[in-house]
Amino acid sequence: MRLLSLMTAALVLSGLYALVFEREAVRAISQGAPLSTLLNGAAEKAATANNMQEGHTSSSPKENYTAQSNGGNAVKVKAIKSVASEIDSAVVLRGQTQAARQVEVRAETSGQVISDPLRRGAFVTKGQTLCQLDPGIRESSLSDAVARLAEAEARVPETQARLEEAKSRLDEARINHNAAKKLAKDGYASETRVAATEASVSSAEAGVATARAGFKATRSGIQSAQAAVAAAEKEIDRLTLTAPFDGVLESDTAELGSLLQPGALCSVVIQLDPIKVVGFVAETEMSRVKLGAPARARLLAGQSVTGKVTFVSRSADTMTRTFRVDIDVENKNLAISDGQTADILIAAEGKVAHLIPQSALTLNDSGDLGLRLVDDASHAQFVPVTILRDTAKGVWLTGLPETAAIIVVGQEYVVDGVLVDAAYQKVIP
C-alpha cells in the first residue's frame, strides 16, 4: 500500500515537472511531435546544466528543439504534386423531360362520332383522322348554297343588259336635248321642245341609276351565295378531326357513338421527337448559360443524352427567382418519355482546376472544406477549395496555386504549422 502511494506521488511530480520545466516540449507533442521530444528536452537541459557548470556556452533548449524538429521528428505523411489544368466548366441543374409539343384536339362543331376509337399510345401521323362526326343535313345545306350561288350568277347577264340599255337611252336623250337647244337658239324650235328633251335626259339618268343598283344587288347576291357555300364547306370540314403533327396519342380518341359539342375533347397528341429537357438556372449562374451551348442530361432511369440549349428565359420565375432553360434532344426511338427527372450539365467557359482524390478533402476547425498542403518550409498548411465537378477519378476543384503539394494520407493528424516529412506519390496529370 505504501509502495502504491509512492508511485502515485512520483507520477504527479513527473507531470508537474513536465508542465513547468518542459512546457515547450509538451506543446510540441500536442501539435504532433513524438513523445521522445520530452525525453530529449530533459536530456538537453541536463547537458546544458553540466556545460554551464564546466564554464562552456551552448545553444538554448529552444534552438536545440528546432534543430531536432528539422531532423527526424517531423510527422510522416504521403502527398502528391498536382499541376492545374484547364477543364470545361459546367452549370449543373436538376430538371425534367418535356414533350416538344402537346395539343388537345377538340371539336369545333356538334355531331355524333361515327369513327372507331384509337387507343392511347398509338402513333399517329400529321393529317390522320382521329374523330369523324356524322354530317347530318350539312351536305344538303351545301347543295342549297351552291344552287343559290348559281341562281345569283345567272342574273348577271340580265342586269348587265338592262344597265347597257339604260346607258343607251341616256345617250339618245342627251343628243336630242342638245339638238333642241341649237334649233331653239336659231328660232327653229320652241322652248317647250327643249324642256321636253331635258325631261327625257333626267328620266334616262334615273333609269341608268336604277339599272346600276340592280346590277350591284346581283353582285351582292353572288357574294352572299359564295359566303354561304364557303360556310357550308367549312362546316363539313370540321366534321373530320385530324392530328396536327406526327406524335403519340396520350389519351383514347372519343368513343364511337358519343356526342361531341363545340369544345369537347377528341384526344391529346404529344410530340416526343425531338424532346425537351427543361431546367431552371439560378440568377448567379445565368450569365454562364449561352444559346447553342452543348449540354448533357442523365435521366434517373439511367439514360444519358446530349443536346443543345435552344431557349434561355429572360423572365425569372416570381416564386423561385430562377430562369427556364430548354435543351432539345433527339428521341427517334421514343425511349425517353415526358416528365422524367434529369440531371443536367451545360457546358460553360473553361476553368483552371486540379483533379484530386476525394479522400484528400478535409475540414478545418471552422468547418471549411479544403486540403492540407506542404509549403516550402515543409510545414502543413490548410487551403479552402471549391468543388467544380465530381468524377469517377476524383474531384475537380479550384482555390489552389498552379502547382501544389497536397497531403493525401495523414492530413487529419496535422494542423497548420506542424513540420511534416512528405513521401510523394505519382503526380496526377
pLDDT per residue as tens, the chain (429 positions): 566 666 676 666 666 665 555 656 556 566 555 555 555 555 455 444 444 444 433 333 333 333 333 445 789 999 999 998 888 778 889 999 999 999 999 999 999 999 999 999 999 999 999 999 999 999 999 999 999 888 888 888 888 888 888 888 888 888 887 887 787 777 776 778 778 888 888 888 888 888 888 888 888 888 998 999 999 999 999 999 999 999 999 999 999 999 999 999 999 999 999 999 999 999 888 888 999 999 999 998 888 999 999 999 999 998 999 999 999 999 988 889 999 999 999 988 777 889 999 999 999 988 899 999 999 999 999 999 988 778 888 898 989 999 999 999 999 989 999 999 999 987 545
Taking CA atoms, 429 is separated from 354, 383, 392, in Å, by: 9, 21, 15
The continuous run of DSSP H or E covering 333 comes out as none
Written as nine digits, the cell of 353 is: 482546376
221: helix, coil or strand? helix
What is the pairing mode between strands 322-329 and 362-363? unpaired
Written as nine digits, the cell of 42 is: 530533459
* Per-residue confidence (pLDDT) for residue 316, from 0 to 100: 92
**Single-letter residue type at 151:** E
* Per-residue confidence (pLDDT) for residue 304, from 0 to 100: 92
Is the link from the previous residue into 274 a cis peptide, with omega within 30 of 0?
yes
Written as nine digits, the cell of 355 is: 483533379
Q: How many residues does the chain have?
A: 429
Taking CA atoms, 416 is separated from 32, 44, 379, 398, in Å, by: 11, 27, 7, 20
* Per-residue confidence (pLDDT) for residue 232, from 0 to 100: 92
Calpha distance 63→26 (Å, rounded) = 16
Helices (H), 187-241: 191-237
Q: For 44-97, what is the HEC assignment?
A: HHHHHHHHHHCCCCCCCHHHHHHHHHCCCCCEEEEEEEEECEEECCEEEEEEEE
Q: Which CATH architecture has domain 138-237?
A: Orthogonal Bundle (1.10)
Contact 374, 422 (CB under 8 A): yes
Give strand pairing partners of 383. Answer: 371
Contacts (Cβ under 8 Å, ≥6 apart) of 343:
92, 93, 94, 297, 298
Contact 103, 427 (CB under 8 A): no
* Per-residue confidence (pLDDT) for residue 2, from 0 to 100: 62
Q: Where are the domains of the chain?
A: 2-73, 78-87+351-424, 138-237, 265-347
Contact 82, 400 (CB under 8 A): yes
The continuous run of DSSP H or E covering 6 comes out as helix 2-21
The continuous run of DSSP H or E covering 84 comes out as none
Angle, in degrees to the nearest 10, between helices 23-30 and 36-53: 160
Calpha distance 219→158 (Å, rounded) = 12
Q: Which CATH architecture has domain 78-87+351-424?
A: Beta Barrel (2.40)
* Per-residue confidence (pLDDT) for residue 17, from 0 to 100: 60
Selection from 295, 309, 301, 296 nearest residue 341 by Cα: 301
* Per-residue confidence (pLDDT) for residue 259, from 0 to 100: 94
* Other Cβ atoms within 10 Å of 267 Cβ, number: 23
Contact 33, 420 (CB under 8 A): no
Selection from 266, 303, 277, 294 nearest residue 93 by Cα: 277
Calpha distance 16→30 (Å, rounded) = 16
State the CATH class of domain 265-347.
mainly beta
Contact 242, 130 (CB under 8 A): yes
Calpha distance 233→252 (Å, rounded) = 28
**Single-letter residue type at 122:** A
Calpha distance 340→338 (Å, rounded) = 6
Calpha distance 131→368 (Å, rounded) = 64
What b/e string do you get for 324-361 counting C-beta neighbours within 10 Å, with b at 16 or more? bbbbbbebeeeebebebebbbbbbbeebebbbbeeebb
